[in-house]
Amino acid sequence: MGYSAFRILKEAITGHKGWKPVWHKAEPLPEYDIVIVGGGGHGLATAHYLASKFDQKRIAVLEKGWIGGGNVGRNTTIIRSNYMLHENEAFYEFSLKLWEGLEQDVNYNAMVSQRGVLNLYHTDPQRDAYIRRGNAMLLNGADAQLLTAEGVRKMYPFLNFDDARFPIRGGLLQPRGGTVRHDAVAWGYAHAADKRGVDIIENCEVTGFDIKEGRCHGVQTTRGRIGAKKVGVAVAGNSGRVMAMAGMRLPIESHVLQAFVSEGLKPLLDGVITYGAGHFYVSQSDKGGLVFGGDIDGYNSYAQRGNLPVVEDVCEGGMSVMPMIGKARMLRMWGGIMDMSMDGSPIIDKTHIDGLYFNGGWCYGGFKATPASGYSFAHLLATDSYHETAKAYRLDRFARGYMIDEKGQGAQPNLH
Amino acid sequence: MIIHHPLLGPRDASEFVYLGDASLMNRPNPKSETAADDFYSYQYLRDNPMGEHRELWYHEQGDRSWLVVTRNTLTHDITKVELARDVARAQK
Amino acid sequence: MPKLSPTLPLESFSKHWPGLTIEEHYIGELISLAIAREEESAFKTAFKKTFGKAPPEPSQLMAVKGGYAIWSSLEQYLILLEGENINADKDIAKKMGPSAYTTLQSDGWASIDIKAKTSKSTALYDVLERFIPLNLRQAPEGFTSRTSAHHIAVIVIKYSETEIQLLTPRSSAGSFLESLIHTAENVLS
Amino acid sequence: MSLIDTTKTLNFTFNGKAYQGFEGDTLASALLRNKVRIVGRSFKYHRPRGIMGAGSEEPNALVEIHGAGTCEPNRRATTIKLFEGLDARSQNHMGTLNFDALAINDFMHPFLASGFYYKTFMWPKAFWEKLYEPVIRRAAGLGTLSKAVDPDSYDKGFLHCDVLIIGAGPAGLQSALNLGLGGKHIILADDDFRMGGRLLSETYEIDAAPALTWVEQTLKTLESLPNVRLMPRTAIYGVYDHGIYGGLETTTDKIGIAKPRHILWRIYANSSILAAGATERPIAFANNDRPGVMLASAVRSYKNRFGIELENTALLTNNDDGLRTDAAHIFDTRNGDYVMDVGGRKGVRSVTLNTGENVAANHLAVSGGWNPNVHLTCHKRGRPKWDEALSCFVPDTHTLPSDMSVIGAANGKFSTHGAFMDANDICEKLGVKASELPQTEDAPVKISAFWHVKGTKRAWVDFQNDVTAKDITLAHQEGFSSVEHVKRYTTLGMATDQGKTSNVVGLAVLADAIGQSIPETGTTIFRPPYTPVPIGAFAGTHRGQHFKPTRLTPSHKYVAENSATFIEAGYWKRSQWLAREGEKGWRDSVDREVLMTRNSVGICDVTTLGKIDVQGRDAGKFLNKVYVNTFSTLKVGKCRYGLMLREDGIAMDDGTTARLSETHFVMTTTTAKAGPVFRHLEYVRQCLYPDMDVHLISTTDQWAQYSVAGPNSRKLLEKIVDPKFDISNEAFPYMACGEITICGGIRARLFRLSFSGELAYEISVPARYGDTLIREMMHQGEAFDAVLYGTEALGVMRIEKGHAAGNELNGTTTANALGLGGFVSKKKDCIGKVLSQREGLVSEEALQMVGFIPVNPKDKLTNGAHFIPKGTAPSPETDHGYMSSVAWSPMLKTYIGLGFLKNGQNRLGEVIQASHLMGNSHVDVTVVSPHFFDPKGERLRA
């Protein structure tokens, strides 16, 4: 019997004895058909879709720590599909549609809440860039509206319209954008994959690949060798370290992105707001905390913690765009390891080593991509062909000159 | 973070701007036959190590010098700071 | 015949508190000198001839003939000359010869003087510790350095325990002064 | 010496009811003195909450402070220093504090076990956003954030010291004394408004006198030392890299005062001593959350520090320290006594023991042992280790930051003597002679761990987030067995007290459920900040107009006098247009500015463009490396347009460079790219070609520069330029430059440059003359009806000429795309040359810049529209490019646009659809050359 209100009633009456583990602690088998390296959102989603949409069997997900301990547990929970380039927008709109059906697909409430994402603009060039982006969104079947300053004021009257160094001149709104309870995404996919026989193996760190004559036959781990016909690596910030074990250098740098949450507050902010003249974006969680962030620290780091200048820069942006926020108190700061790519867009591709596939380069946009990344990586692993919406995410695009550069910042990861 | 500038002593890292891996100092020879591949890996591929990393910082709010900083990307400990110009001249 | 007249960046601003004065300081002329490649010794002798001393070390203000000299960057110095002379850089260039490249910078900077009444009053450092990230309280006399304050570039010169000069780019000098006065009000009033 | 001044009464209100306290009271002590028992409601079950602690560990007494038309939520009553007129109110209840409608959740608790919301609310799908979530969100949160602008001011500061001592209890004071007398520059910070730490709340003696006497003397000595800085009410909230610490000073709790409420200190310390003491922990037993159940140390604090006798107190303890508490009844777990239940919904009335005995009591003091405050040792991923004998986590020297040492209770040395010993040891290590050891108590730690009484009723672990022992065991049952999983699934330790009283007890309950020891189960680590920090404090003065600095052009005052409308260009303010009497909209002003300039003469301030002095024997060679075209061949007295690429072959910036002498070039960059280009040039100079003789210095602010454009521009300038300089077309042709003098010998520079496409010059003078020059030129220009024109008119004219600007140089366009392929020198290498030849950048299908004119001249063009071939439905596959710049051309009486079209150069004359789907407008446009106006450039060569 799945999770539902009736199940809660039944268990409540019988003293909660009937609840089973959300996912089982599997022991590693010597051999699988497909091994996914990385028990974060993307790895678990890949396993779920491999089993549920591509009818694959004998799948294992290897996680070096505890599932959901990486970026899926450390982000600011925003989902949206408001990209300018078709190579991205098609993929992220596909992801948003998967989000909309997630609870029913995995029978776990990740609280997908679509209350709108509003990108503020402050100059004519910014407005024009958002018009170009909004039109690209509509071309891909997403929803987009251009609001004037008055339109923004109606939605969020507490924004700074009177005393702004960079006045709010309007905003691009995606009503279907919103937030999702991030932890529940990892647990939900784990729960559904587990139900279809996927082995979820925690505390099992990959320490090397078994590669002979250009083909990958499995991995070495802290819990012994595990054979596999195909190995899919989805380890986000650790991409560089893991693929180095296969002798590969990637167009990726690992950077720290800090995120912040305030003490719990009565509801005052419905959707997600991003500030166009400073590094600040914010939403309010269902528990009442303001979840906000800004830019990456800017230097390579695996430390999962950042430094003060960014904290102050984010709060300066927050105070400038919504001056009521001064009295909210910051409760917790943490950091994730962002796999920043050379054009700000991801890579979902085979490698020159047969049987070894790579998924990474998500910068700080990985959370919203979780379902589509899982689905298209499963498609590639199962069929050896690219999913329609992810065909541009090739590893060799940089050599061929087909960069997918939303911000136009070029080959400098910390500017994306 | 604090970077010990060779000539100016300890300075808050917020005076600096980070570029990336110091391998960017080794610009390939544009005339070699393998120039296209050399420039591709020079511009796009990175070691991206977890551990010691030689990287380029620019002292924008100070003396506008470029520095090669040897820093651990896990602990952030900085073990060496050199003037990029001196490193570049030594490499020539 | 049309006539032009110069204006000061901060229009001779001046404000006084019991223990402290903040006022615009007429900067005189600022010239940037750069050493031509591989002509360090020629430059040093020309510098000694022109200013009476060898070029200064980093972070150390040096009094020279006609004003002061500061090390500003690798192979670059900033000369502060008293008096007004729109062609000061050309005159210096003639004296220094081919070993130096000169650039007129007087109009690029505004200068603000902060003076404490007595060395006992801590007002000077109580204000600056809320404005400049450097350790000016324990810095020696003659200490100079470039950093940023409130997102604006600033060259700090500690002339004495009771007088500190701040040089800041002309275009944002008004913004800089406003922030400095606001901080001083917070600390002193 | 009493810590409360009973001669100074302070009036305050709580939920509108008037009370009185004394100077030296906290809101909590004042409420207890006035016998107020219920102060708040818990987050999930909305059960009544009373004061439990006496410091920042307080999980329950969260109030709102109201004042100056706004309110401050989630303030701990235990850390509010009472002030006259304080208006405090309880929060998080629907209805009154005593009759909270949401208390119904307490009766529904069987259905609200932790994580229940993950397992329901999934059917029917639409109900989540329509019904379930709105109900959950309305009930969520704690205090109310006023939507009014925060009236308080905040400031920031920077401090430097040899040693930062964190915590001014016995250990902190003693090490400050040693180091201070030893001449070290030290800072002693404590988050309480009085220094003394535990000594303020206990009845210890030091050197045979009350401990407070020693505290008083020590503080007097420290205040006399210039190298010591005492910082009360300053919480060290974070430890960052390389000896940087974050401190938050609170000047007052009163809202809306003139001076800053908080100062955010960035402290640079060569080393730090953590002497932050310890926090007592509770024990989990049934209904242990009733108002009146308190930490034993807090009961002693309210008695010894604030002089409040809590009547009829019972004590539950598992250690000797708890026994210091005066109590009518004592239950010691080591003797087998423990509490099974607590009676009294709105406050403790009775206690039920395991013997079944029922004891009447109004307060229950609980001591489950002490947790050293190791939080700051974890901020750089340090992990504390379990000490079985002390039954607590202590700092692990292996994972401590190298420049931090921990002493006193924070290091597990719980006696006052132990604290003094630690302080003296550390000072010796720091090379300072320790002063002689004061005589004081050295009570050993006698404790036997007792965490949790198992039973059917709920036993609270996290009092604020309502996490009970059952929630933790259920989480384990559902497979959440790692500490991090339990925290996220149950929200243990994620409330505003950050788990100070709940983390270790929760870990013990989890360890018991798994059947492992505590160290095997895991360690709890802490993230900054140690205590919550107002976001306003992190912003300091950078808000409103002071968010970023403002850069003004030399002509700012003058154009403001001429009613300029300003636009932001980076940090600069530039005039966008300058309206005149009777002009209704901005289009009227802009059309006039364009027509007057094209027909006579217009003046525009272009100072904001980046100006870089490039000097040296190898300056020409250097410019060859950064520009696609060649500059070493440029003659002295000439300018040349240059296109700069990034190493990936994409256009980075463009601008003209003038050669003033053999070794002196002046480069111009766009306003937005001035900083990045200078940084890039220094990288190329220092890191790639360190042997070149070339030197760079920014001169943007040094020179005021004005564009004087239009057929009469030469006539106007001839009134300004000193006669000995011939600026006729023959003597000073297009792209000439030179040093001249104006207005009787004033030094200046002149360039024959034209962005507008008109006959135009750019004249620059040292910025001191900037204001007076534009006034003089406009005065001389009256004869020609000279106009001031802004960025909007400049935009129209450059689009009419087909010049690429910021919208086109958007970081994704190549030289070919911009129609500048011809500029790229074939002979020499430059930054970006090799990678610009990649397949994707030179393919036929690549985007190329072309011009667009609406087929119907009345149609309006929209920037950001996408080009869709006629007769095909708009889709990603049929998207052939986008519009990048649009303007109404007063010269051609139609809208004109620049944009990028696949294979654009070969599609001139084609009619295509410009689709602005968001505005559902689809305009037919003809693809034309981007050079709409004076394509051969006859005007600028006049």
> Which residues of chain D carry a pLDDT beneath 50?
none
* Span C78-105, pLDDT tens digits: 999 999 999 999 999 999 999 999 999 9
Q: Are D300 and D280 in contact (CB under 8 A)?
A: no
Considering only the beta carbons, identify the residue of B25, B30, B36 that sits closest to D687.
B25
> Which run of H or E residues covers position A333?
strand A329-341
Q: Could you tell me the sign of the dihedral formed by the alpha carbons of A52, A53, A57, A62, in that order?
A: negative
Q: Is residue C5 part of a domain?
A: no
Domain count, chain C: 2
Boundary (domain end) residue, out of A341, A374, A395 = A341
Q: Does a structural domain hold residue C9?
A: no
Same domain, C155 and C87: no
A245 falls within a domain: yes
Q: Are residues A263 and A329 in the same domain?
A: yes
How far is the C-alpha of C110 from the C-alpha of C154, rounded, in Å? 10
Determine the pLDDT at residue C27: 85
Give the separation between CA D545 and CA C175, rounded to whole angstroms: 10
Beta strands A206-212 and A215-221 are antiparallel
Domain hosting A267: range is 112-177+253-341
CATH of the domain at C52: 3.30.70.1520
Q: Which residues of B touch C58 (CB under 8 A)?
A: 7-8, 63
Question: Does the pTM of the predicted model rise above 0.95?
Answer: yes
pLDDT of residue A165: 97
Torsion angle (degrees, nearest 10) of CA C82, C83, C89, C95: -70
Burial zone of D745 (CB within 10 Å; 0-12 exposed, 13-18 middle, 19+ buried): exposed
CA distance D754 to D774: 18
- What residue ranges of chain A have pLDDT lower than 70? none
Give me the CATH number covering residue A289.
3.30.9.10
pLDDT at D462: 97
End-to-end, the C-alpha distance of chain D in Å comes to 92
Nearest to D846 by CA among D817, D812, D809, D875: D817
Query: D842: which DSSP letter?
Result: H
Number of domains in chain A: 2
- Residue D648 to residue B43, Cβ atoms within 8 A: yes
Please indicate, yes or no, whether residues A148 and A187 belong to a single structural domain of this protein: no
Tokens of D813: 């366009």
User: CA separation (Å) from A82 to A416, D163, D361, D885?
Assistant: 16, 50, 62, 22
Asked if residue A263 and residue A165 are part of one domain, the reply reads yes
In-domain check, residue C7: no
Query: If we measure between CA atoms, which residue out of D923, D867, D920, D917 comes closest to residue D895?
Result: D923
Interchain pair A305, D379: CB under 8 A: yes
CA distance D290 to D457: 13
Q: Which of C63, C81, C106 lies at the terminal end of a domain, its last residue?
A: C106
The sign of the torsion formed by the CA atoms of B77, B80, B85, B90 equals negative
Distance CA A276, CA A170 (A): 10
Whether residue D124 is preceded by a cis peptide bond, meaning omega within 30 degrees of 0, is yes
Last residue of a domain, one of C80, C106, C132: C106
Tell me whether residue C8 is in a domain. no
Residue A7, domain member (yes or no): no
Which residues of chain D lie closer than 8 angstroms to A400, CB-CB? Answer: 838-840
pLDDT recorded at residue D449: 94
Q: What angle do CA A148, A149, A153 make, to 5 degrees?
A: 120
For residue B49, give how far its alpha carbon lies from the nearest alpha carbon of chain D (Å). Answer: 19
C133 interaction partners in chain B (CB closer than 8 Å):
12, 14
Q: What is the pLDDT of residues D316-325, one digit of tens each?
A: 999 999 999 9
Please tell me the distance from the alpha carbon of residue D20 to that of residue D307, in angstroms, as a whole number: 15
| A86 within some domain | no
The reply to whether C122 and C86 lie within a common domain is no
CB contact at 8 A, A245 and A231: no
C73 and B64 in contact by Cβ < 8 A? yes
Distance between CA atoms of residues A360 and A358, nearest Å: 7
Quick one: A173 and A34 in the same domain? Answer: no
Contact B50 A254 (CB under 8 A): yes
What CATH number is associated with residue C115? Answer: 3.30.1360.120
pLDDT of residue D909: 97
A317 within domain boundaries: yes
Chain D residues closer than 8 Å to B78 by CB? 242
* DSSP structural state of residue D447: B
Same domain, A246 and A119: no
Domain boundary (C106, C131, C150) is at: C106
Quick one: closest CA in D to C75, which residue? D695
Pairwise CB contact (< 8 Å): B47 & A299: no
ipTM summary value:
0.97
Q: What pLDDT score does D2 carry?
A: 65
Put simply, whether C85 touches D (Cβ < 8 Å) is no
Please say which residue of A292, A314, A341 terminates a domain: A341
- Provide DSSP, D252-292: -S-TT-SS-SEEEEEEEEEEEEE---EEE---B-BTTTSTT
Q: Looking at the structure, do residues C146 and C84 belong to the same domain, yes or no?
A: no
The answer as to whether C3 is a domain residue is no
By C-alpha distance, which of A281, B73, A10 is closest to D111? Answer: A10
Provide mean pLDDT across the span C4-25: 96
Please tell me whether residues A166 and A202 are part of one structural domain. no
- C47: in domain: yes
* DSSP code of residue D821: G
Q: Is B26 on the interface with A (CB under 8 A)?
A: no
Closest CA to A168 of A192, A180, A152: A152
pLDDT digits (tens, 9 = 90+) for D366-419: 999 999 999 999 999 899 999 999 999 999 999 999 999 999 999 999 999 999
> Do C169 and C156 share a structural domain?
yes
In a domain, A212, yes or no: yes
Q: Identify whether residues A273 and A332 lie together within a single domain.
A: yes
Of A181, A318, A401, the CB nearest to D838: A401
Cα D198 from Cα B90, distance rounded (Å): 59
Q: Is residue A3 part of a domain?
A: no
Q: Is residue A70 part of a domain?
A: yes
Which H or E run contains D428? helix D416-429
Q: Which residue among D542, D701, D779 sits closest to C108, beta carbon to beta carbon?
A: D701
* Backbone angles phi and psi of D232, in degrees to 5: -70, 165
The answer to whether D333 and D450 are in contact (CB under 8 A) is: yes
Interface test with B, best of A241, A245, A253 (most B CBs within 10 A): A253
Claim to verify: residue A323 and residue A265 sit in the same structural domain: yes
Q: Which of A324, A341, A358 is the last residue of a domain?
A: A341
Q: Which of D551, D705, D741, D780 has the highest number of chain C CBs within 10 A, making it the mutation to test binding with C? A: D551
User: 3-class DSSP state for residue D221?
Assistant: helix
Average pLDDT over residues C125-132: 97
Is residue D770 classed as helix, strand or coil in its secondary structure?
helix
Residues in a beta bridge with D886:
D897
* Same domain for C113 and C99: no
CA distance A284 to D134: 13
Does residue A188 share a domain with residue A57?
yes
CA distance D665 to A103: 65
Write out chain C residues lying below 8 Å of D546, CB-based.
150, 175, 178-179, 182
Q: CB–CB of A216/A354 below 8 Å? A: yes
Pairing between β-strand D154-166 and β-strand D262-274 as defined by DSSP bridges: parallel
B43, two tokens: 């511009």
Contact C145 B12 (CB under 8 A): no
- Mutation target to probe the D interface, by most D beta carbons within 10 A, among B7, B15, B38, B66 is B66
Cβ burial of D115 (10 Å; 0-12, 13-18, 19+) is: buried
- A342 chain-B contacts, CB cut-off 8 A: 43-44
Domain that holds residue C182: 14-26+108-188
How many inter-chain contacts (A to B, CB under 8 Å) are there? 72
Residue written as tokens 């499963």? A378
Structure tokens at A257: 């992105």
In a domain, A106, yes or no: no
Integer Cα distance of D576 and D561 in angstroms: 14
Question: Edge to edge, what strands does the sheet with D86-90 contain?
Answer: D17-23, D5-14, D86-90, D62-67, D70-76
Domains detected in chain B: 2-27+34-91 (3.30.2270.10)
State how far the Cα of D676 lies from the Cα of D541, in Å rounded to an integer.
Answer: 27
A318 lies in the same domain as A261: yes
Residue D187 is predicted with a pLDDT of 98
